[in-house]
């Protein structure tokens, strides 16, 4: 019982692993849905930031699917969470700018989770942990 009420974290490496698995797994799923429905989504995908709808869509797929895999595995986690953060930033502040908060709640939560993953890092149970274990 004392363990539950201590202020010290139980295991930050395990927490980092669980957070990476959840966040990365959700983005892999959402990115795969975009890949699977590519021909249906591309014609309706907007050019929100002025670089072209097709390029924007490809960058979103890269961030969600590609970086989602890397975050899940813990490969250069702080670096690979940045594209996901940017996509969620654009989704929240531009794509859904005029929507009610309830409509843009999910991008907001993902945006905040990206900040937590960036701050926490990948932890010991990751590819980063294997590569950089002697540099701590």
Domain locations in the chain as residue ranges = 14-124
The reported pTM is 0.89
If phi over 0 gives left and psi between -120 and 50 gives alpha, with beta otherwise, what is residue 8? beta
Query: What is the Cα–Cα distance from 54 to 1, expressed in whole angstroms?
Result: 55
Tens of pLDDT, residues 13-45: 999 999 999 999 999 999 999 999 999 999 999
Query: What is the Cα–Cα distance from 85 to 32, expressed in whole angstroms?
Result: 18
């Amino acid at each position: 019982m004392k363990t539950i009420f201590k202020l010290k974290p139980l295991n930050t490496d395990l927490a980092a692993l669980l957070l990476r698995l959840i966040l990365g797994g959700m983005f892999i799923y959402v990115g795969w849905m975009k890949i699977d429905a590519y021909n249906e989504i591309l014609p309706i995908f907007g050019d929100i930031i002025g670089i072209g709808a097709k390029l924007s869509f490809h960058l979103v797929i890269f961030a969600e699917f590609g970086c989602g895999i890397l975050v899940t595995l813990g490969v250069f986690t702080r670096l690979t969470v940045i594209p996901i953060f940017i996509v969620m930033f654009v989704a929240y502040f531009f794509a859904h700018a005029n929507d009610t908060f309830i409509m843009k709640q999910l991008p907001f939560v993902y945006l905040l989770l990206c900040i937590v993953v960036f701050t926490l890092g990948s932890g010991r149970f990751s590819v980063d942990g294997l590569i950089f274990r002697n540099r701590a």
